[in-house]
Amino acid sequence: MTRRRFYAPPEAFSPDGRAAQLSAEETRHLRSVLRLKPGDEIFLFDGAGKEFQGQVETVARDATEVSVINQVDPAQPESSLDLTLAVALVKGEKFDLVIQKATELGVTRIMPVMTSRADVRIKGDGDAERKMTRWERIALEATKQCGRAHLMKIERPKIFSDLVRCGDKDPIAVTDASEDACAPVKDHSDVRIMFAERQGTSLSEVLGDGKGDWGKGDWGKGHWQTVTALIGPEGGWADDEIDQALAAGWKIVTLGGRILRAETAAIVAATLIQHRFGDLR
């Protein structure tokens, strides 16, 4: 039987962990869509990897009280790969699709990227917050459906030049350099791949065997644990953007001879990388 799953963040649980309260939005889904009532079994996931079997106790207009029976294994296991999908901003529903499918494919985080040819521009902090709220809602719904207990993280939109220099770290101001430095980066198990329609090679050639040989170069020992995949906009990458990525040590990959839409390329890239190093075996 399919689990009836609801999101309850860690702060929604009582100090002793024996009870939890669902939000107004989750309560509306429980009451009006699934038409559940006191005594019915449900499952709660906290977005941080834990899942619990519970029982509905009371249902009010804007809250549901749940008794926690016991902790259970998540409906679906989490991939062992820490995969960041950095995607150039594309128009509304296309980016929504990327968010949904990335969640289903086990991506750890999505990083929207502002590029020179991006279809969408961020008009200030308010616009960024509205977009992130929408994307987080889509990711939550996809998490419920696919069985993950971890919520995929949605990063704030990042400028391309900051991304290629710093990855998922924020630039930090320094006084003795012309450009910002980067916050401390992870160890060299981190793999950074830029998917582009030109100047690239095949994924298999770039990745090598994943056990320390990055193509023809030595990029550390042991299996890759963290990967960042960068996907361009509908109009493709500008020459200077590819040059910046190469100078910063990114590897360029071209996916075959056909031109893919940005949202298709993002889904394909996530699938190929999860198959190679994650849990899509």
Rounded to whole angstroms, the Cα distance separating 150 from 76 reads 10
Rounded to whole angstroms, the Cα distance separating 56 from 36 reads 8
Q: What is the pLDDT of residues 204-261, one digit of tens each?
A: 777 765 444 444 443 333 456 889 999 998 888 999 999 999 999 899 998 877 788 8
Model confidence, pTM? 0.84
With helix as H, strand as E and coil as C, how does 225-256 read? Answer: CEEEEEECCCCCCCHHHHHHHHHCCCEEECCC
Rounded to whole angstroms, the Cα distance separating 81 from 62 reads 37
Cα distances from 280 to residues 169, 187, 192, in angstroms, run: 27, 25, 20
CB burial of residue 265 (10 Å; 0-12, 13-18, 19+): buried
Contact 237, 267 (CB under 8 A): no
Rounded to whole angstroms, the Cα distance separating 152 from 158 reads 17
Q: What is the pLDDT of residues 140-193, one digit of tens each?
A: 999 999 999 999 999 999 999 989 887 655 543 333 333 444 543 444 447 899
Instruction: Specify the pLDDT at position 168.
Output: 57
Instruction: List the alpha helices (DSSP H) in the chain.
Output: 24-28, 92-104, 124-146, 160-166, 203-207, 239-247, 262-277
